[in-house]
Chain A
Amino acid sequence: MLVWSRPGRIVLWLVFALLFSVLFLAPLAVILLSSLADQWNGVLPSGLTTEHYSDVVQGAAWKAVKASLVTGFLAGAVALVSGTWAALALRIQDATLARVLGVLFFIPSAVPSVSVGLGLLVAFSHPPLLLNGTIAIVMAAHFVLISAFTFGNVSAGLARLSPDFEQVASSLGARPAYRLRHVTLPLLAPYLVAAFGLSFALSMGELGATVMVYPPGWVTLPVSIFSLTDRGDVFAGAALTMVLVAVTLILLLGLERVTGRQARS
């Protein structure tokens, strides 16, 4: 315990509560209130309504939710497979090569998302790889942006995995594929779930690259929110934001339950 005295601990808790409220709760509360506001000209809304929710649900919201969910799942799944593959492959490489490749794999996370979107747009707007205007370019943008995080998560899990498990499995006659399926991947499962959860959450909130590359008919939730607020429809944008938060939160809580159950077992 860093602070021993009771008054000291109370002061710290108050500081924490203040920062948490101002930086985390207040913006969410404002968005929630905005999504329910009939009019908001003073300090608080002058009336409450669920009209914005009805509007967005009847409008393009459902399509945006679907686009975001499909993009998040697909890009997350591909990133999970490739990130896991990369982490497993790097483990058996020479230490220097593994370090260099590891740094390379993390580069996309250091590039601004708008730049990634622009890069993809320029690269894939001409034959033979003409992806501009397709859903595939959105998937590619999301994959590039989230793959470094899945790689990092799985690498961290592998680093904690004792080599004894796999070596004992091999000595008992398990070939590499059998060992991977029955030993390595089950032991890595909590990290795989966490990696997928993080990738999915990042994808659900991705705007910078998506706004550069999205085709008509594949408007994700963040792009819809951006469009609504850009047009001045702040209350509808807030309602859609709450839908985004709810969808992401439900999925992450579900994944957390799976991870928690695995950790307990």
Chain B
Amino acid sequence: MSVPAFTGSNVMDVDAAKIRGAGSNVHFDKVSVAYGAHVVLHPLTLDIAPGEILAMIGPSGSGKTTALRAVAGFVRPASGRIRIGATDVTDLPPYERGLGMVVQNYALFPHMRVEDNVAFGLRAQGADKALIGERVKDSLATVGMSGFAKRYPRELSGGQQQRVAIARALAVRPRVLLLDEPLSALDAQIRRNMVEEIAKLHRDLPGLTILYVTHDQTEALTLADKIAIMRDGRVSSHGPTAELYRRPPNRFTAEFLGRANLLPVTVTEGATGPKGFAKAKLGDALLAGAARGEKPGDKTLLCIRPQHLSLTGDEEHTNRIVGTLKEVHWQGELTHLVLDVDGTPVRVSATRLPVSLPERGSVVPLFFAPGDTSLVPEDARG
């Protein structure tokens, strides 16, 4: 199967002369969006590197879709500039921006066959027939839909329709692919498969820059090189995916990206030792945790993920707290425990448990490694 390359001459390059020669990074330069007096996106400065997948995640109304629509050209910024490569696209109409877009409900044109849907962008740009035929074939092969070219969208399942939508966006060789909650309409099993397929697609097409908007943290964690977490029209945090997950810079990020136990602690000793762990007190327990410049006396939060807590200690799991077991939820692969630790509910996700599980109401020790923790400042806005 020939895999389309996202560099060199292509139809979008030829027709969208204004972005010819531009790279494929996306740069938001203090971009704000307002509807009348209501600001939905506060000045946003952000860079998506060429070939990078940036996931924008956040709750409804956080401004993530508005940011994507501003890149697409469907929302006009109240201030700021948007650049794709070296070209300022802020004032360009959507059809001259050289993008591909996939939306939640697929938006396949119901009156066109799959092959005509995929060919749509190329035909709109006046590509010649031979090129269209070749691109349609390549794009459908890339998403594994070669056998469905003659079908109408209504004859396809949701997952198949979404693949065709991706093929349609890829056929025009976009510099940037915008994915707006592309898997939200699919059921859980198909969504998991599609996440893996999109990850594979990006491995096959490493030059493709992707802006992926979702409210699903699993999709973001699986796919994204970097994540921007949006809240109330602002970027709450932005950084490499693993870094944001392991060392969340604030409570909102810790709680939005994966599950987190956030224990209120008081720092007793700043970062020391080769690993830079600080020491902090939770009640009577003295705990070590990865620091970010805290000083003795600082009140902060100790973030520990549920899967990093263990009912048994060892050389690595040297931090120890004690809690009262409140709830046990068995979910097959995992068992979730909820304990009360000094008035804070603490969740534990365990794959293996002791043969005899403690009774509800019993006092249970929990162990965790200092390296699995992070000290997280409380949000200024709660």
Query: Which residues of A line the B interface, CB within 8 A?
Result: 162, 164-165, 167-175, 178-179, 182-183, 186-187, 189, 265
List of B residues within 8 angstroms of A179 by Cβ: 95, 124
List of B residues within 8 angstroms of A173 by Cβ: 11-12, 15-16, 95-96, 98, 121, 124-125, 172
Interface centre among A168, A169, A178, A187 (most CB of B within 10 A): A168
List of B residues within 8 angstroms of A171 by Cβ: 72-73, 94-95, 97, 99-101, 169, 178
CA distance A169 to B120 in the complex (A): 8
List of A residues within 8 angstroms of B101 by Cβ: 167-168, 171-172
Majority-rule SS of A interface residues: helix
**Leading 5 A-B pairs by shortest Cβ distance:** A172-B121, A174-B124, A164-B107, A171-B101, A170-B94
Residues of B1-56 at the interface with A, using a CB-CB cut-off of 8 Å, are 11-12, 15-16
List of A residues within 8 angstroms of B141 by Cβ: none
Q: Are B111 and A172 in contact (CB under 8 A)?
A: no
Given A162-B105, A183-B109, A187-B111; A174-B120 close (CB under 8 Å): yes
Majority-rule SS of B interface residues: mixed
User: What distance in Å separates the Cβ of B343 from its nearest Cβ neighbour in chain A?
Assistant: 48
Contact with A along B114-132 (1 / 0, CB 8 A): 0000001101110000000
Residue of A nearest to B93 (CB): A170
List of A residues within 8 angstroms of B11 by Cβ: 173
CA distance A167 to B98 in the complex (A): 13
Contact with A along B256-288 (1 / 0, CB 8 A): 000000000000000000000000000000000
List of A residues within 8 angstroms of B110 by Cβ: 187
Which one of A164, A170, A172 contacts B168 once the chains associate, using CB atoms below 8 Å? A172
User: What distance in Å separates the Cβ of B263 from its nearest Cβ neighbour in chain A?
Assistant: 44
CA distance A183 to B102 in the complex (A): 16
List of A residues within 8 angstroms of B100 by Cβ: 171-172
Q: Are A187 and B109 in contact (CB under 8 A)?
A: yes
User: What distance in Å separates the Cβ of A195 from its nearest Cβ neighbour in chain B?
Assistant: 18
23 sample A-B contacts, Cβ–Cβ < 8 Å, listed by A number? A164-B103, A164-B104, A164-B105, A164-B107, A167-B74, A167-B101, A168-B102, A168-B168, A169-B109, A169-B120, A169-B124, A170-B95, A171-B73, A171-B99, A171-B169, A172-B168, A173-B11, A173-B12, A173-B121, A179-B124, A182-B109, A182-B123, A187-B111
